[in-house]
Every structure is written in structure tokens, then in C-alpha cells.
A and B are shown apart, each in its own frame.
Chain A
Amino acid sequence: MYNRIIRNDILKSKAITLTTIIFIAASAMLVSLAAILVVNLSGALDTLMKQAKTPHFMQMHSGEIDIARLTSFAKQNNNVDDFQVIEFLNMDGAQIILDGSSLANSVQDNGFSIQSEKFDYLLDLNGNIINVTNGELYVPISYMRDKTTKVGDRAVISGKEFTVAGFLRDSQMNSTLSASKRFLVSKDDYTEIKNLGSTEYLIEFRLKDLSALGAFETAYASAGLEANGPTVTYRLFKMMNALSDGMMTAVILLVSALVVAIAFMCIRFTLLAKIEDDYREIGVMKAIGLRVSDIKKIYLAKYAAIAAVGSLLGFVLSIMFKGMLLENIRLYMGESGDSSFALLFGIIGILLVFLAIIAYVSGVLRRFRKISAAEAIRFGTSQEKDVGAKHFCLSGNRLLHTNVFLGIKDVLARKRLYATMLAVLVISAFIIIVPQNLYNTISSKSFSKYMGIGNYDMRIDIQQTDNISEKAAEIIKMLNSDRTISKYAVLTTKTFKVKTEDRSEENIKVELGDHSIFPIEYSGGRAPSAENEIALSVLNANELSKKVGDVITLVMEGKEKNLTISGIYSDITNGGKTAKAVFTDNSADIMWSIICAELSDKSLVEERTSEYASRFVFVKISNIDEFVTQTFGSIINSVKKASSAAIAVALIITVLVTLLFMKMLVAKDRYSIAVMKAFGFTNSDIRAQYVSRSVFVLIVGIVLGTLLANTLGEILAGMVISSFGASTFKFAIHPLSAYLFSPLMMICSVLIATMIGTSGAGQIKISENIKE
């Protein structure tokens, strides 16, 4: 019997059933995709880091190195499983020519290495350890992604010729967030080019017990070993590798949650309409003694069938689309070891969607209990009425056109019915606006302030070179005489020891200079301005468990110096662990200096950048936009993709739901439409009324959606952003796109859908609907 009832019911309402199935399929697909992505990402990441044997602790160092001392430290430390020192030959981008074009504009520190012997292997695209022969060059995978070069291309490194033999995965430096990129050459070739660049050392450790990494870090720092460069740990490597795909997964999860909510709305709406249609029958069934659970079963069976079909469809779709989303993970990290596991999680996700739908339908059907059999049989409709629109009378209306009035009046009188449509439109507006705002925010220039980069035009990096201060002075001289430069700041980074809670010592990199020239955003407090003040990055503050106003102790030349924490800021540069202060110091070696400059005429940035670059070949000079694009480029791109996808999805949802809604309304309102037509209202009058209804609901939806996007959305986006080191977050809203184009797009979609959805109203015959 159920089969027959379900079949008849579905045949009678094909469009509505189809739309509901589409939404269920979409939500099932997204949930399944998110599950598959998460499992694959973590699986592929594990595989990559296992195959490559990523170091657990890595200290970059430039300058003199005492290998014997390091070796004895490694021997004496019980936790060290393996230890090695790798050379990294830093070379100016201009000296690296791939397929005829140089990497002079690259903001990455490009350098050369040979294959490691013990761990930290460089892998080919099949996950195998590369065995490189003379004359061969393996290029970091990111240069394949941005199509800089391809296999077989000619490469010229400082005049020496190589052939691009393949691409490599580097578990340390794959991510664009990582500032350095390693090229792989053979031992002989390395020896040949060794003198053409500056050598930096990667001091690497594998530990027996990874959980004791903190203790090891402390031990390394207090042993006073080589530490002229950033320190990176296993966790940070992992996070940097996972970031851009992780963001994509987060966005998909967010969208899938919203689509699930919309599927629920559709179900609620069709179900409520159906219950209203069947009111009398339900009353009769109750009257002849059927139990509520029996009646519920009839309806539940139909939705179980629809949900099953939708979920299956969603699963098939997710299998079809997963390749597209896994492309990036496959390229950068390779196959995940447990892909069947991923499928299993996908299926579990879909099952959850299915069960949630059944539970929800069952919940909506609870209202059967409230239906009074006698009332249902007598009146045939629910006697519940919305109140509130009572004083909104046509007789008192002077302002609105009668059709507009009737449209709005209908919405106010049947709030419950329209609440569903409103909810969907609010969600759509939310989906359109939040990713767009997020994209605008992270692609805006001011966003770099959250990331620890001030708002300047040109950045000059002086590192891996001798006599940093003299070179800086030389550049400053030129800056002073350059009229196009409106202001500049010199920031010098030095390493000091800091006393931790347990009185042990750790290294801390402090950027010294005037931080008020190019201010960054502080999540608490302000920039340091006095000699005894210091500002900490969020990660450092967390690690040292300090807050604004607390005092920390630095050790300089054996003497302790107390500094008050003036502020805490977000930073993702240099592994996120930095500090800023203004005191002068001549004790410690300079690790690097950066000079930031602002130009009075922004159109000259490019020209000046290349001029300085050709003048000072020993430093790296980047146009800040380029620096930001190359550093955050892939993240910005992911978010941009997600944001365009979100707009498309939201508009499709808006059109589909409005269409569905209007078709159902016309079907429900046949009688009223016939009455109005009988009394001289034309088809265009009727259409105008429906357009007024949907536009009225839409306007409320857009206003609520925008408010929600700017409050809840900002909090959500802030959570995403904080996952990569930023702590304070405010949307940078593009008013034209957020408040004009997005609403316009929605209005157009809703208008078109309403027009199509209500075209059936013209066919309604008065004589057939006003029967005696």
C-alpha cells in the first residue's frame, strides 16, 4: 500500500519532489566530499611526511657552524633518534633561469640542495626518493603548478646548464607559506655551483618521542647552539602543508551545513503544504481510529524514499567530483594511504544526512497530534491563524498600489508559510556575502597588517649576507636622497635568549626599530615605544603564557633585562614566533634586516622596485603586493574559488527555492486567484501580487542575511582566519559588491524565478475553480 501511495504522491508533485531530491543530493554530496577531503588530506599528509621523513625539529642557521659540537649535543640528548646538517645554497632569483625566464620576481628564497642521506628526503611525484644524476635539476612542485617550467626545459643556474628532469615534493617547503624553496641537484653539480651563492645550514633532528619536542626545543636553546635563523617544528610543517586545502574543506563544510539546512526548509515547506491539503483526510483517518504513528508512517515512507534516492545520488556525485577537489592534495602530497577509509567516512556522512532528514520529518509530523479530528472534518483546514496583520487594512491604504498591498498583506497574514522562504533567502544572502567579504578582507592591502606586515609599498630584505649593517646603511643613503620615497623604516632582527616560566632559556627573535612608521594591527595593547617595552606575536605570547602588561626577561650579554609587554599582534611570518621592540643593542649578531618604504606616487612602485633591485644585487627587493600575492596567493585563490562557487550555489538555491515556492503557492491559491480574476483582476495584477510577495520577503531576507553575515559571519570567518595566526579580525567590506551587486543579483534571480513560477496563474480558469 505504501508503495502505491508514494508513487501516486510523487507523480502528482513531480517538480517539488525533484527539487527536494536535488537539495538532499547536494547536501549529501557536500557532506561526503568534506569527509573524503578531511580523511584524504590527513592521510596524504601523513604519507608524505612519513615517506619524506620530515624532521621533527629544524633550525636554520647562517654563518659559522660547529658541526662537531652539534654532533656531540645530538649524541648526548637521549631523545635524538637521528641528526643531520644539510646545506642550502641560497641563490638570487635572477641567477635561476627556467625555460628562458628568470625567477628574479619570485619572493621565495630559492636555493639548492643535494638529496639527504638519512631523512628529510625530497620526493618525486610518485612519492619515491629522487636519485638525481649530473646535469639534472628537480624543481619545487609549486613552479609546476604556476606553469613556470615543465619537464625537459633547459635551466641555467648562474651560467651552468641543467635539464629539468622532474618536480619534487618537499615536505618542509611545499607550501607557498614557507618562504624558501629547495631545488635538487647532484653532488657534483652542487660542488660546482657552491661558490655562486650563500650557504645556509638546515640543522635537523628526528626525535624518538615527538611528544617531548618542547623539552628538546628548550634543551637546544639553552645549549647555546647555532641559531641564527628561524626554528621550525614538525607541527608547523604539518600546519603549513594542510592550510590551503584545510581552508577549502572548512568552506565546503560550512556550505554543506547551510545546504542541509535548506534541504530541511524545503522538506518542511512541502510537508506543511501537504498536511494542509490533506487536513480533512488526516482528520478522517484519526476519526476512524488509525493511530497517529500509522498516519505518520504514510508520510514518513515517502520522505524516506526521497531521502534515500537523494543520498544515493549525492554519493555518486561526490565520487564523481572528488577527483577535482583532491587534485591539489594529490599534486602536493600524493595519494592518501587510506582511500577506502575516506570512502567509508563519506558513506557515514551521507548516512548521517539521511538519518537527520528522517528525524526531521518525524519531528514536523508531530503536529498530527494537535489536529482535532472533528475540526478537520468540519472545516477541512487548520483553524490556527496568524495574527498581527489585522490592522494592515486595504481600506486604510493610501500609500501602496493595491497589488503591492495585497502581496505584502498575504506575507504578513501567512508568516509561517513565508518563514521558510525567508530562512532560505537569509541563508542564501549569507552564503553570498560571507565568502565575498572574507575574500575582500584577505585580498585587501590592509589585511597584511593582521598578518604582521605593515602597509608599505616596497620591502627590502637583507639576509644571508655579511655586513648587514653596512649594506643597510648604503641603501638608506640612497633612500634618503630619493624624492619618490615618502617614508621608510629599518627593522633589524636579532636573536636573544628569553627566560621562560620554568627559568629555562629559549631563543626569541626580536625585530628592533621604529614600529610606529608602518603600524600593524594589535589584537591587544599597542606597539612598543619605550626602551623597556616589547610586543609579542600571538604564538609567542601563548607559548610564554604572557599577556599585555606582563614582564618578560631577556638575556643580553649575560645580563638580564626586564621588558614590559606593550602589545600582542598577529604574525605569520618567520613561523609566527616573533617580537618587536625599540631598544638599541649592539651585542647580538644581526640575523637579517628589512627596510620598508612607502612611495609618494604609487604608480612608481614597480619602476622603483626594479631600479633598487638592479642597484643592490645582494638584497631581495619586492613590491609588497607581489610579496603578499606570492605568500598568500594560493590561499586567496582558494577563497576566491570558494567565494565564486558560493555565489553560484546560493543563486541556484535562490532560484530553485523561489520557483518551487511560487509553484506551490499558485497551486495552493488557485481559488483565491480565480476569485480575483472573476472580480476583474488581470493576470498581470496577479503576477504583480506574487512579485510583491517574493520581493518583500527577499528584502527582509537580504537585510537579515547581511546583518547576520556581518556579525555571525564575521565571527565564523575570524575563526577560520585565526587558525593561521591572526587574532583580531574585521571584515573589509566592498560596499558596492556587498550592498549593491549581491542584492541586485538576488533580486534578479528571485524576479525571474517568480515570473516563471507564477506563469501557471494565467492558466487558472475561473469557471473550473469557483464550482458550485
Chain B
Amino acid sequence: MKKIIIGDHIVKSYGEGDEKRNILDGVSAYINEGEFVAVMGPSGSGKSTLMFVLSGTDGVNDGKVVFDGRDLSAVGENELSDIRRIKMGFVFQQPTMLKNLNILDNIILPSMRNNRKNAAKISEKARALMKRVGITELEKRDITQVSGGQLQRAAICRALMNSPKIIFGDEPTGSLNSKSAQDIMDIFSEINAEGTAVMLVTHDAKVAARTERIMFMRDGTIVSELKLPKFEGADMDGRIEKVTEIMREIGI
């Protein structure tokens, strides 16, 4: 299977001199096309940093990241922006929406850059996505007028607007109640089933158990990996059990 992202001996550190601390300490990781992956680990283990680095949102101090066949360290700032906008999608724990725009405008924002002539088409696509995740009626609402779960659905719509190759989710269900979290995970599963790769950073075993491969991190390195069959709605408890077992094993 073709790998869409390869991270090779990545070192990422913060601070200077004595204060310098390696958040990622020679991590190697990959994601296959259309794969559903999770990264787990305790706070400070480097899982979010790994996601930022693999998506090219943050640079590396050593090692390299190859996305879709291209070494990201050799790609300029503007092209990196283009790659993020066209080939990647992001969903964060907090909904990361602009206060001044309504829900629809927030969703179409990345697609509208340099593309205003297609505004009608883009809006149409956004409406279709909104319908799919069940927020059609929220189109004109302000972001302060909807619930966290609804906002997260809108964020997923935004991530999907440019039909990306991969969607990164950093604790996307972290601030939701369990019903909303489950709905969101259903949407991610659906997106993945259509062929888009998904990488989720989470500390929730229930979320990780929905994916097909889980990388476990501690102190800036990947300490373990668990492969699961594709989730098709059955044996959720068994999957969760497997995840928590490893968590116990490695002490997270």
C-alpha cells in the first residue's frame, strides 16, 4: 500500500540551551493512503506535536517528513499553505472558527481563497456536506449560536471542502459529550470508508478503538503499535479492551 506520509527520525525540540527539550526524539511514523490511524499517549508525550509536524504545520529540527512523495522541508512557505489547503483537512478540539463569519462562510473559507468566481459551486458543495452531517439549518447562524457538537460538524465540513487526501483530528471529540462524540466518530468512519485517510490524536480509548492502527507515544517516542481490523460496527468492547491493555502495559 502506498504511504501518503512518511516521518523519518524526526526530532522536534523547544527552548534554548539548558532549557532545550526534545518533544519528538527521533520518531519515525507513516500513514498509508486511506488508512484510519490514531495516536495515543499521555499529556506531554508529543502526540499533538507529531500531528503538527507530519502535517507540515510546524517544522522539524532533524529528520524529514515526506508528504505525497515530497520532502516538506524542501517546500516553501506558500506551497506548504497550498498543500494544507488542498490536500489536507484539519479538525481541532476547539472548533477554531472565525467569530466574524457565519457557519457557512467559515466552512467555505479555505476553498474561497483565490476562487471567488466559483462561490456558487462552493456554497453548493458546502450545503451538501452540511446536509450530510445534519446541520443544514445552521447555515446563517453565528458560531456563538450553536452547540459544540454542531460546531465540530461544521469543522468537519470545512475540512472536507477541498476533498483532501487526509484529515488530521487533534482531540476532535475532546470537548464533546459522549453522544456527540459518537456521532462525530461515525462521520469520521464514513469519510474514511470513502477513501480519505484520517489521523486522530486522542487519549480516549473509545475513539482510538474505532481506527485500524494505533501508535502509542511516551516521552517523544513511539513505544508501541496496535493494528486492528477495520471497524464495521461490531465488537466495540473487544477493541477497546485491546487498546486499554496496551495502555496498561506501557503505563499510560
Co-assembled chains A and B: yes
Partner-B contacts on A (CB < 8 A):
383, 385, 389-390, 393-403, 405, 409-410, 413-414, 671-672, 675-685, 765-767, 770, 772
Among the stretches B1-9, B110-118, B204-212, B214-222, the one at the interface with A is: B110-118
Roughly how many angstroms separate A193 CA and B119 CA in the complex, as a whole number?
93
Whether the pair B77, A683 counts as a contact (CB closer than 8 A) is yes
Whether the pair B98, A675 counts as a contact (CB closer than 8 A) is yes
Whether the pair B100, A679 counts as a contact (CB closer than 8 A) is no
Whether the pair B81, A677 counts as a contact (CB closer than 8 A) is yes
**Chain A contacts for B83, CB-based, 8 A:** 680
Contact mask for chain B residues 94-121; partner A; CB cutoff 8 A; 1 contact, 0 none: 1011111110110011101111110100
Whether the pair B96, A394 counts as a contact (CB closer than 8 A) is no
**Chain B contacts for A772, CB-based, 8 A:** 48, 92-94, 170-171, 174
Question: Given A679-B85, A681-B81, A767-B49, is A395 in contact with B108 using a C-beta cutoff of 8 Å?
Answer: yes
Choose among A394, A396, A410, A678 the residue that contacts B84 (Cβ–Cβ < 8 A). A678
Choose among B82, B86, B117, B170 the residue that contacts A398 (Cβ–Cβ < 8 A). B117
Roughly how many angstroms separate A678 CA and B92 CA in the complex, as a whole number?
10
Question: Given A394-B109, A684-B78, A766-B58, is A678 in contact with B90 using a C-beta cutoff of 8 Å?
Answer: yes
Roughly how many angstroms separate A413 CA and B102 CA in the complex, as a whole number?
11
Q: Nearest-CB distance from A408 to chain B (Å)?
A: 11
Do most interface residues of chain B lie in helix, strand or loop, or is the interface mixed?
Answer: helix
**Chain A contacts for B112, CB-based, 8 A:** 394, 397, 402
Name the interface size band of chain B: 35 or more
Roughly how many angstroms separate A412 CA and B235 CA in the complex, as a whole number?
53
- Write 27 A-B pairs (CB below 8 A) sorted by A numbering: A393-B104, A394-B105, A394-B108, A395-B119, A396-B119, A397-B116, A397-B119, A401-B114, A402-B113, A402-B115, A402-B116, A414-B100, A676-B109, A677-B81, A678-B92, A679-B84, A679-B110, A681-B110, A682-B81, A685-B81, A767-B48, A767-B52, A770-B94, A770-B96, A770-B170, A772-B48, A772-B170
Q: Is B57 an interface residue (CB 8 A)?
A: yes
Choose among A390, A399, A400, A685 the residue that contacts B113 (Cβ–Cβ < 8 A). A685
Roughly how many angstroms separate A515 CA and B113 CA in the complex, as a whole number?
69
Closest to B12 in A: A767
Choose among B48, B49, B109 the residue that contacts A679 (Cβ–Cβ < 8 A). B109
Whether the pair B57, A680 counts as a contact (CB closer than 8 A) is no
Other contacts beyond A397-B112, A679-B84: 17, CB < 8 A: A389-B100, A395-B105, A395-B126, A396-B119, A400-B116, A401-B116, A409-B100, A675-B97, A677-B81, A678-B90, A680-B81, A680-B84, A683-B77, A684-B78, A766-B52, A766-B58, A772-B93
**Chain A contacts for B86, CB-based, 8 A:** 680
Q: Which of B69-83 contact A (CB under 8 A)?
A: 77-78, 81-83
Choose among A383, A402, A679 the residue that contacts B114 (Cβ–Cβ < 8 A). A402
Q: Nearest-CB distance from A144 to chain B (Å)?
A: 64
Roughly how many angstroms separate A499 CA and B158 CA in the complex, as a whole number?
90
Q: Nearest-CB distance from A73 to chain B (Å)?
A: 84
Roughly how many angstroms separate A770 CA and B171 CA in the complex, as a whole number?
12
Q: Is B13 an interface residue (CB 8 A)?
A: no
Tell me which of A390, A395, A677, A681 has the highest count of chain B C-beta atoms within 10 A of its own C-beta: A395
Q: Is B22 an interface residue (CB 8 A)?
A: no
Whether the pair A410, B77 counts as a contact (CB closer than 8 A) is no
Closest to B87 in A: A680
Listed from nearest, the 9 A-B pairs whose CB atoms lie closest are A680-B85, A394-B105, A413-B100, A679-B110, A767-B52, A682-B81, A395-B123, A680-B84, A767-B58
Tell me which of A401, A402, A413, A684 has the highest count of chain B C-beta atoms within 10 A of its own C-beta: A402
Whether the pair B119, A681 counts as a contact (CB closer than 8 A) is no
Roughly how many angstroms separate A681 CA and B78 CA in the complex, as a whole number?
8
**Chain B contacts for A678, CB-based, 8 A:** 57, 84, 90, 92, 96
**Chain A contacts for B94, CB-based, 8 A:** 770, 772
Roughly how many angstroms separate A398 CA and B98 CA in the complex, as a whole number?
20
**Chain B contacts for A765, CB-based, 8 A:** 58
Roughly how many angstroms separate A671 CA and B95 CA in the complex, as a whole number?
12
Roughly how many angstroms separate A675 CA and B97 CA in the complex, as a whole number?
7
Roughly how many angstroms separate A396 CA and B100 CA in the complex, as a whole number?
15
Q: Nearest-CB distance from A448 to chain B (Å)?
A: 55
Contact mask for chain B residues 171-192; partner A; CB cutoff 8 A; 1 contact, 0 none: 1001000000000000000000
Choose among B99, B102, B174 the residue that contacts A393 (Cβ–Cβ < 8 A). B102
**Chain B contacts for A393, CB-based, 8 A:** 102, 104-105
Q: Nearest-CB distance from A35 to chain B (Å)?
A: 46
Closest to B51 in A: A767
Q: Nearest-CB distance from A675 to chain B (Å)?
A: 5
Roughly how many angstroms separate A682 CA and B85 CA in the complex, as a whole number?
10
Roughly how many angstroms separate A693 CA and B240 CA in the complex, as a whole number?
51
**Chain A contacts for B109, CB-based, 8 A:** 394, 402, 676, 679
Question: Given A765-B58, A767-B49, A772-B92, is A409 in contact with B101 using a C-beta cutoff of 8 Å?
Answer: yes
Choose among B93, B101, B117 the residue that contacts A394 (Cβ–Cβ < 8 A). B101
Roughly how many angstroms separate A389 CA and B114 CA in the complex, as a whole number?
22
Whether the pair B119, A679 counts as a contact (CB closer than 8 A) is no
Question: Given A409-B100, A684-B78, is A398 in contact with B49 using a C-beta cutoff of 8 Å?
Answer: no
Closest to A680 in B: B85
Q: Which of B149-176 contact A (CB under 8 A)?
A: 158, 170-171, 174
**Chain B contacts for A683, CB-based, 8 A:** 77-78
**Chain A contacts for B82, CB-based, 8 A:** 680
Whether the pair B52, A398 counts as a contact (CB closer than 8 A) is no
**Chain B contacts for A414, CB-based, 8 A:** 100
**Chain B contacts for A671, CB-based, 8 A:** 96
Q: Nearest-CB distance from B136 to chain A (Å)?
A: 14
**Chain A contacts for B123, CB-based, 8 A:** 395
**Chain A contacts for B113, CB-based, 8 A:** 402-403, 680-681, 685
Roughly how many angstroms separate A682 CA and B97 CA in the complex, as a whole number?
17
Roughly how many angstroms separate A745 CA and B107 CA in the complex, as a whole number?
39
Tell me which of A394, A401, A413 has the highest count of chain B C-beta atoms within 10 A of its own C-beta: A394
Closest to A391 in B: B140
Whether the pair B100, A682 counts as a contact (CB closer than 8 A) is no
Question: Given A402-B112, A672-B98, A682-B81, is A766 in contact with B57 using a C-beta cutoff of 8 Å?
Answer: yes
Choose among A398, A413, A676 the residue that contacts B119 (Cβ–Cβ < 8 A). A398
Q: Nearest-CB distance from B24 to chain A (Å)?
A: 12
Closest to A672 in B: B98
Roughly how many angstroms separate A695 CA and B101 CA in the complex, as a whole number?
21
**Chain B contacts for A400, CB-based, 8 A:** 116
Choose among A398, A409, A682 the residue that contacts B116 (Cβ–Cβ < 8 A). A398
Roughly how many angstroms separate A766 CA and B83 CA in the complex, as a whole number?
15
Q: Nearest-CB distance from B167 to chain A (Å)?
A: 12
Closest to A401 in B: B116
Tell me which of B52, B57, B96, B97 has the highest count of chain A C-beta atoms within 10 A of its own C-beta: B96
Roughly how many angstroms separate A677 CA and B52 CA in the complex, as a whole number?
13
Q: Nearest-CB distance from B212 to chain A (Å)?
A: 23
Question: Given A772-B94, A772-B174, is A680 in contact with B110 using a C-beta cutoff of 8 Å?
Answer: yes
Choose among B96, B117, B171 the residue that contacts A675 (Cβ–Cβ < 8 A). B96
Roughly how many angstroms separate A685 CA and B113 CA in the complex, as a whole number?
9
Q: Nearest-CB distance from B30 to chain A (Å)?
A: 21
Roughly how many angstroms separate A397 CA and B109 CA in the complex, as a whole number?
12
Q: Nearest-CB distance from A740 to chain B (Å)?
A: 30
**Chain A contacts for B158, CB-based, 8 A:** 679
Closest to B90 in A: A678
Closest to A671 in B: B96
Closest to B102 in A: A393
Roughly how many angstroms separate A766 CA and B100 CA in the complex, as a whole number?
20
Whether the pair B100, A767 counts as a contact (CB closer than 8 A) is no
Q: Nearest-CB distance from A508 to chain B (Å)?
A: 71
Closest to A683 in B: B77
Q: Nearest-CB distance from A385 to chain B (Å)?
A: 8
Q: Nearest-CB distance from A503 to chain B (Å)?
A: 77
Q: Which of B26-63 contact A (CB under 8 A)?
A: 48-49, 52, 57-58
Roughly how many angstroms separate A711 CA and B244 CA in the complex, as a whole number?
77
Q: Nearest-CB distance from B75 to chain A (Å)?
A: 12
Closest to B101 in A: A394
**Chain B contacts for A403, CB-based, 8 A:** 113
Q: Nearest-CB distance from B201 to chain A (Å)?
A: 8
